[in-house]
Amino acid sequence: MGENARVAADYKGDYQELVDEISELLGAPATLENRDFELLAFGTYDSESELDASALDPVRTRSILTRRSTAGVRTWFEGFGITRATGPVRIPPSPEAGVYRGRICLPVRHRGVVVGYVWLLEGEPGPADDQLDAAMRVAGRIGALLADEAEAGAGLSRELRAVLTAEGGWQRDMAVAELRTALGPRADGPHTLICVAPWPSPDPDDAPSTRSVPHAAALCTIPWGTAAQSLAVLVRLRSTAVAAPALAAAGRVLEEAEGAWGVLGARGGSAAAPAEEGPEPGGSGTGTRGTSGKGTGGTSGRGAGGTSGKGARGAVPRGAGAAVAAAVAAGAAGAGRYGGGLGAAGFGGPAAGIGDPRTGLAELGTVWQEARAAAQAALAERHLGPVAQWRGIGPYRLLTSLPPESAQDPAAGPLLSPAHRELARTAEVYLDCAGQAGRTASELGIHRQTLYYRLNRVEQLTGLDLDDGEDRLLLHMALKRARL
């Protein structure tokens, strides 16, 4: 337990002191990054001129401002053998790579394994060999500290996993007590949980460090379904009313998942919907109103049934999960709220769900179920993702609580076959639009006559009356359920 309690300590101050010590030894500002090129600390600059872009270079500036380097920069530097080096490595400038000034890299190792890097910009005159030797000894102390943090964080991951996988009752109470002890005084503050699914690997070594995820107190992998994995992130909040820290953490972890899955290069188009049997009267676009009584004047006859397409939606922070969002915006044919068809994972990439905040740890089990449900909803409905909050997923708050093995309502069964995918989509949009024919036709880009024809076919297949509120509610929930 003593190792886990160390997680609650602020390692940043220790790293900063050691980086400042190296900067003083070498007479130049140093930066410290972990082995994933995430910035941990950087030395003090004596004047504003030293921070000028012309005195640094784009790679150095980006590292300080965003606290991380790109995958391309990482690959370029690793090409100089820094992962295998046991002493200082001098790297020449390369303007085409954005490296305008040469570097000295001090590999940070612990028990023969590289755990980070200390970087300095080359200057004239450069540091002497005895100065570099002294700096390498300090780098060894940094390596021990990084290893200590990694070991403590792994222990806390085990305790978080124990809380989230406990069956309940005294078992969960004991797991929560251990996690509370490990977190120390911070355990009594406001927290929430994030669920990112699917996560690419069950290996804890493949998960990001808590230091690289803003506001994260602990994280661990949890099974997702029968064969996949999800990532759970415990996030510290300033207040239960302020969601910004959780949104920032969700966006950061989504970036990690995107990088692992390579979603931008792998997204393809949605399959074309099978043809419906029989011709559909009317054409696409606008035109004369159909003669059916359903939806006269743009609204349904009786029984509003179902739920409106409008409602609270989980806010997505600008830039969070940007790659997934871009993939959706530029992706499959039919992209949009209803693209992909029923039963398709919403936007085809990883999604993040955020549970409602709680003060303390006693309700973490419930918060985790909320976070999982929000992630499920974001995977099912692309307009909810890539980051969805429990409070904003509408009917999926109820639908995700149903047992996975629960049967689909038999009335909706025929409509959910692949041959009737377009009819199912039409019915869902119609019900989302509260039975307003004008809105529905506009959303689908079809003539109203075509809409009325399709709705008649839906009634024939299901035996339901779309002018009856209870029948509409049943069909609406069955169609939403099918997305899960």
Q: Per-residue pLDDT tens, the chain, 484 aa: give them.
A: 344 434 434 455 588 899 999 999 988 889 998 887 888 888 765 545 444 545 566 776 666 666 667 777 888 889 999 999 999 999 998 887 778 888 899 999 998 888 899 999 887 778 899 999 999 999 999 998 888 776 665 568 889 999 999 987 889 999 999 999 888 877 888 999 999 999 988 777 677 877 778 888 899 999 998 888 999 999 989 889 988 889 999 998 998 887 766 633 444 433 333 333 444 544 433 333 333 334 433 333 333 333 333 333 333 333 333 333 333 333 332 334 444 444 434 446 899 999 999 999 999 999 999 999 999 999 988 889 899 999 999 889 988 888 776 767 888 888 888 899 999 999 999 999 999 999 999 999 999 999 999 999 999 999 999 999 999 998 998 888 888 7
Percent of the chain with pLDDT over 70: 72
Cβ-contact 399, 367 below 8 angstroms: no
Distance CA 75, CA 276 (A): 51
DSSP state of 384: G
Q: Look up the pTM and report it.
A: 0.58
- Residue 206: per-residue pLDDT: 74
CA-to-CA dists, residue 286 to 141, 365, 453, angstroms: 72, 51, 15
Which pLDDT value is given to residue 257? 84
CA distance 424 to 440: 13
CB 282 within 8 A of CB 447: yes
* Alpha carbon of residue 53 to chain centroid: 32
**What pLDDT score was predicted for residue 156?**
83
Separation CA 451–CA 432 (nearest Å)? 14
The tokens describing 34, both together, are 């972990």
| Residue 91, strand partner residues | 103
d(CA 221, CA 216): 14
What is the predicted pLDDT for the residue at 238? Answer: 84
Cα-only R_g, the chain: 27
The amino acid at 197: A
Cα gap 246→317, rounded to integer Å: 10
Q: What gap in Å lies between CA 350 and CA 329, rounded to an integer?
A: 15
